[in-house]
Structure 1
């Protein structure tokens, strides 16, 4: 299912994916915050380390979601701003962290002058961007000379088992993505370190590197994982929700079997793998 290609999307395909992502994250903002924000927080410290965050750093958090990373940067003394495509995510972030600045914005058209920031970070937004080369170039535009940028993205689903369990279950049943779910965009393109390095090199960055990170995330039971995943994973969740009840039941049965591998006496211990790609704008 979901055969994917790294080829650049047309303008109309890019806009279709952008609208799908905006609507999907609007619909899931609260449930994403309740379940998945804690998973994405695993990348916070490595992202900050790679951009050399310190007191006074002017930092832009792209695809800021519910806003926790932006707020944590401010807690550490940075002058941080968050932007997100989803207005509901921005509303939620502003409510959760009322003293932090958040703006609704598309990553290809950031509302800031050239050289505004010392650092740009993006936690797990990269694979959602319709045209990642344009997105990275626009982020670099806002960086001061010598500024640093860092993106996190997931490892292969075989090693990132929250998404992986769902995708394995879908593949086992053999369902296809419905026609109204955008196709032709490779969500896991940057799970490949070579592709990730090529993206950053192509943006004209120096000191480019991609580092591997692994962790284990605890979920108390499969029901929590099922509900949390469907309430957080926009594309994968849409594929499941748009099936009929009988097919959803088959996917759930396969999901339970795939998840059982990670059961312990207390719950599920799920392997999480992600990468961080980083670089510096030339001085």
Structure 2
């Protein structure tokens, strides 16, 4: 995944508005020690850094962190794995994970680590996509990819922790006291269906697989996608909702 393409295409449309909602769901962070896990290019950490006492962003992709460091020097950018956080117990007051937990090899281990590094009473806020059917543009793309022998399962991967009951069970088993769950609806706008496809092909985990397909196959996919999403088009291009759970939890005070 190209960090520059990710920052250019996906952050403004999806992850910046979601970060704003995530911070609002978490509550105030002024004077707090903040951790952003699976931070990517750091939009959540960068947003929190404006008021937090200290902000740390962690990601296992060095290229993402390199770009993040160029974008904001206020944040401490740390390479690492969510399942083995390189921090002492009780190092943070507030933690975030925006659309990253579903990619952890062991989500329960990652949550246990987040609980460990939070101070008693510390808060965790997660953003996890709702079922892919509630993001019709991505659902259509997954179906079209399947139809043409593309990586439809890879398109569905970001949505695999969409069941709130499972997330609640994971949080409880990891030592958290689950709090509130709300739904954030983003209006995802793209200049055209072709541009939507091109941005996903450039900036998402789909990129390597799509590059292996012939130009003819990719063009056929775009044509099919235009027909499938015809009712989502207007004079400004493509518009569809993208729904995400915002889940808060707290480390109990013992």
User: Do both proteins adopt the same fold according to a TM-score greater than 0.5, normalized to the shorter chain?
Assistant: yes
Q: How many equivalent residue pairs?
A: 251
User: Hey, what's the Cα distance between the residues in 2 that align with 1:211 and 1:59?
Assistant: 21
* Equivalent-residue separation in structure 2 for 1:109 and 1:164 (angstroms): 33
> 2:183·2:243 contact (CA, 8 Å) conserved in 1?
yes
SS of 1:190's equivalent in the other structure is coil
Residue in structure 2 matched with residue 150 of structure 1 by the alignment: 125
Tell me the residue number matched to 2:145.
Answer: 170
1:244 and 2:214 are equivalent in the alignment: yes
Is 1:37 matched with 2:38? no
C-alpha deviation, 1:269, in angstroms: 1.3
Q: Cα–Cα, structure 1 residues 191 and 29, in superposed 2: closer, same or farther, change >3 Å? A: same
Task: Give the whole-Å Cα distance in 2 for the aligned partners of 1:258 and 1:177.
Answer: 18
Preserved contact between residue 168 and residue 178 of structure 2 (Cα < 8 Å): no
Q: Unpaired runs of 5+ in structure 1?
A: 1-24
CA contact (8 A) 2:5 2:203 kept: yes
CA displacement at 1:72 relative to structure 2: 1.1
Equivalent residue for 2:204, pick from 233, 241, 263: 233
Residue of structure 2 in register with 1:13 after alignment: none
| CA positional deviation for 1:130 | 1.4
**Under a length normalisation based on structure 2, what TM-score does the superposition of the two structures give?**
0.90
CA distance in 1, matches of 2:23, 2:60: 22
Alpha-carbon distance between aligned partners in 2 of 1:278 and 1:70, rounded to the nearest angstrom: 17
Alpha carbons 2:150, 2:210 under 8 Å: kept: no
Task: Give per-residue Cα distances to partners, 1:90-131, cap 9 Å, x unaligned.
Answer: 000001112321111111121110000001101111121111
Please list, as runs of the form range in 1=range in 2, the aligned pairs for 1:43-62 lying within 5 A after superposition. 43-62=18-37
Q: Which residue of 2 aligns with 1:18?
A: none
Contact in 1 for aligned 2:19/2:43 (Cα 8 Å)? no
Once the two structures are superposed, residues 187-239 of structure 1 have per-residue CA deviations (whole angstroms, 9 ceiling, x without a partner) of 433111222222212212114332222121221122321111112220x3444
- CA-based RMSD of the aligned residues comes to 2.2
Q: Match for 1:133 among 93, 108, 112?
A: 108
Unaligned runs of 5+ in 2: none
Report the CA distance shift for 1:75/1:189 in structure 2 as closer, same or farther (over 3 A). Answer: same
